[in-house]
Amino acid sequence: MRIDLASIFVDDQTAALRFYTEVLGFVKKTEVPMGEHAWLTVVSPENPNGVELVLEPSDHPAVGPFRAALVEDGIPFTSFAVADVHVEHARLTAAGVVFTQQPTAMGPVTTAVFDDTCGNLIQITAMS
């Protein structure tokens, strides 16, 4: 058994695709129109056949309160691995990304948390 897909809820799939590809550096893998939305996935350019991240529309009524509670409590929806949190923090900050937690050493890992502009907090991590 292996993880094939992971989902993240987004307010606007077009804006999310732009942010996740142009700012974060993922690449679009799949886009299948499905009415007003699409089955839309991105992958890491380092592993194009790896886990796909589904940019899932946030229309379901349970999503809004769930995400609002996570953001209010400062809890990231998901986490992405990076080689160096400080380097990635500098790159993303220069690109206009807003961080809610600056790079912080936490035992064997360093983490930082940013707003993905799509309704979520995202954590980046690297082994220290």
Return the pLDDT at 128: 81
Domain 5-127 has CATH 3.10.180.10: yes
H helices of 1-128, in order, are 13-18, 63-72, 85-94
Q: Mean pLDDT in runs of 10 for the chain (128 residues)? A: 96 98 98 96 97 97 97 97 98 98 97 97 95
Domain segments of the chain as ranges: 5-127
The reported pTM is 0.95
What distances in angstroms separate CA 89 from CA 26, 84, 118, one per listed residue?
16, 9, 18
Return the pLDDT at 75: 97
**Cα–Cα distance measured from residue 119 to residue 58, given in angstroms and rounded to the nearest whole number:** 9
**Cα–Cα distance measured from residue 74 to residue 77, given in angstroms and rounded to the nearest whole number:** 9
Backbone angles phi, psi at 35, to 5 degrees: 75, -130
